[in-house]
Amino acid sequence: MTAPDATSPAAKTATEKPSPSWRESFAVYTQPRVLIVLFLGFSSGLPLALSGSTLLVWMRESGVDLGTIGLFALVGTPYTLKFLWAPLVDALHVPLFTRAFGRRRGWLLFSQLLLIVSILLLALTDPARSPFYCALGALLVATMSSTQDIVVDAFRVESLPESEQAAGMASYVAAYRIGMLVSTAGALFIVSGFEDTGIPRASAWMWGYVVMAALVLIGTVTALAATEPEQSAKAEAATQADSAIARVLHAAIGAFSEFLSRRDALAALAFVVLFKFTDAFSGTMTAPFVIDLGFTRNDYAAIVKGVGLAATLIGGFAGGFVARRYPLAASLWIGGVVQALANLSFSWLAVVGTNQWALALAICAENFTSAIGTVIFVAYLSALCQNPLHTATQYALLTALAAVGRTYLSSGAGFVAKGVGWPMFFVICVLVAIPSLILLTWLQKRGHFERLGPVRV
């Protein structure tokens, strides 16, 4: 399947942006498919912080040094390598689950049950006394979380028609960020609440993670209420006569060969790796930075939960409006620039010191701009995936590459912060966005974005 020529009517139709009224823009968010995607977004966002920033706060309070905390970013490796088992999700059936619930929903329910178990196992570890077992538990959470992401991403791309893609992406990202906030600020409040009742700190952290495991059931109920995407059902029918091995090979080889055959494929992949790197580099050290400034756990949690949540919601839907209103390349420019410049608010906070208003402003700027950038980035990744036979594999490959910045390139963030100090560290976080903007300029001149069309069956 080839993309339409940039000058053809099909290409113009795919890239022209309508100017919907506010009533039309609001109504699309209430469509059942969009609401399902919204709740699945919450389910996807919830576990990420449990093996990331929330775990880092737990480790910092337990006395683990900054260098080790930075290295713990490596437990996010499954988010980078998930494309390796995504063909299994595309091609294989889960015994009992697939027959009862369908191709996508069966895998979704199966991965969520395993995710609950892995979070409970992480809850039983002690970062100070047994960092190895803590890392192993976090690795299991990341693996099950990334498997859930594989299915949710494919479900979202396949279930939403073209007219609902922008609203679906905005709802998904806003809910994803809410899920992350619940597992960061919400988890910290819960841990503090358990401590206030007299429970020792180590036990309070354990019970906080148990509550987070229970919240995964929100996604489980959503999966039960959803219906199997029509595109997935057609793809399943088309390959029903093939053997399991043939389906896996088709999903794996087809996803790679189809993408790599496109013009400027390698440059597009490099852009995918670097676009959110500025966010990832700063985000790895935000929680330790706030704690080091002298803010309490509850100060940080209250601001993230309150004004930070509002900024995330507004930013998510602002990103949806931008993606719906402007061409894809222009939208990426807006998202790329604002998410990079937002890091300067943390440099300013490092100079100001322990000021709650300054912390609130910095958190708002980061959450608002990051949500805008993420919605637009998801729109771009979705436009790259056009074949339901291997949607999960192709999208997993792209998001895995995007996780390279968060997992590997960001693993040295703690050492950089330790070497240059907090104000200069966040200036560096702005500068690392420059390579992605150079690639964006080059791809735009090559007509890359005009060749992308809507998702097709």
Domain assignment present for residue 4? The answer is no
Identify the pLDDT of residue 267: 92
**Residue 5's pLDDT band (boundaries 50, 70, 90)?**
very low
Q: What's the whole-number average pLDDT of the chain?
A: 82
Residue 51 DSSP symbol = G
pLDDT tens profile 200-237 = 888 899 999 999 999 999 999 999 999 888 777 666 66
Q: Give domain status of residue 7, yes or no.
A: no
Residue 386 falls within a domain, yes or no?
Answer: yes
Classify residue 1: in a domain, yes or no.
no
47: its two tokens: 């576990």
Cβ 349 vs Cβ 358: under 8 Å: yes
Question: Which ranges constitute the DSSP H helices of 261-390?
Answer: 265-274, 277-293, 297-305, 307-325, 328-341, 344-352, 356-384
Domain CATH number, residue 118: 1.20.1250.20
User: In this model, does residue 88 exceed pLDDT 60?
Assistant: yes
Domain assignment present for 457? no
Looking at per-residue pLDDT, the higher value among 24 and 57 belongs to 57
The domain containing residue 66 runs over which residues? 23-451
Is the pLDDT at 1 greater than 60, yes or no? no
What confidence tens digit (pLDDT) does each residue in 371-399 have? Answer: 899 889 988 988 888 677 777 788 888 87
Q: Would you say residue 5 lies in a domain? A: no
Band of pLDDT at residue 305, cut at 50, 70 and 90: low
Give the pLDDT confidence score for residue 121 in this predicted structure: 94
Report the pLDDT value the prediction gives residue 222, as an integer from 0 to 100: 94
pLDDT digits (tens, 9 = 90+) for 6-50: 344 444 444 444 555 555 556 666 787 889 999 999 999 999 889
The number of CA neighbours under 13 Å toward the Cβ of 326 is 16
Mean pLDDT score, 395-415:
77
**Count of structural domains, the chain:** 1
Query: If you search the block for the tokens 């594989």, which residue do you land on?
Result: 150
Domain membership of residue 2 (yes or no) is no
Question: When comparing pLDDT for 421 and 253, which is higher?
Answer: 421
pLDDT at 435 over 90: yes
Domain membership flag for residue 231: yes
